Amino acid sequence: MSLVQLTIKGISYSHTQNGAYALILNEVNGARKLPIVIGAFEAQAIAIAIEEDLKPPRPLTHDLFKTFCDRFDIVVKQVIIHKLVDGVFFSSIICERDGIEEIIDARTSDAISLALRFDAPIFTYQNILDKAGIYLREQEEADHNEEEDFDDEDDDFDNDDSNDESLNDAIDEFLNLVPNEKASEFASLSVQELNDLLEMAVLNEDYEKAARLRDELSKRNL
């Protein structure tokens, strides 16, 4: 299967679901966008990596991992989003040390956070983009009109409000189709109940549920 390179457009907050964020990836040399549902903690980690002016006073988890890798000459070469199951993306981090390549399974949000810190390319397979990519026909037509009416110096379609509104509508529609347990499953629980469930999930090695509980706790602390 052929790989398609992706770039990061940004992070969007759902206008219809509280606590739901979507990381927006652009198809290189294409018009489709791939939205990936992430939690508040992951959105913060990615936003800090995107914005060079944002420097936390102490290293975040992904920053610590980057320092660790640098110290031991481990390089993240690329990230591949290789599977999509029931709205959940699965990713691999391709690392290299002393000429030996290793493939490490990772949550997509973590993998992208590290890719940003290592300046590593992000890829997905064509069939995943065909299945989950959003194609905005209005954007392509507007881009074409912009090229005809304006020169390169004046062309800044990414800042067009109508384009942003169309993208936000498409993202909200996507989020409504994807199981988003982070936004609603634990909304009625207290912080103490969340902490108790988190401890139980870790003891039971249910790390997927633990991650969702942590995301809910992080959202409460924002």
Q: Using one digit for the tens of pLDDT, what is the confidence trace for 171-197?
A: 555 555 444 434 446 777 888 888 888
pTM for the model: 0.63
- Residue range 35-48: mean pLDDT, rounded: 85
pLDDT of residue 175: 52
pLDDT at residue 157 above 50? no
HEC sequence for 191-221? HHHHHHHHHHHHHCCCHHHHHHHHHHHHHHC
Of 27, 25, 40, nearest to 214 (Cα)?
40
Q: Looking at per-residue confidence, does 209 or 63 come out higher?
A: 63
Please report, for residues 8, 26, 28, 154, 176, the alpha-carbon distance to residue 171 in angstroms, rounded to integers and kept in the order given: 15, 13, 19, 27, 9
Q: Tens of pLDDT along 207-220?
A: 667 767 777 777 77
pLDDT at residue 62 above 70? yes
pLDDT of residue 112: 96
pLDDT of residue 44: 84
- Residue range 126-131: mean pLDDT, rounded: 92
- Residue range 28-50: mean pLDDT, rounded: 86
pLDDT of residue 140: 47
pLDDT of residue 213: 78
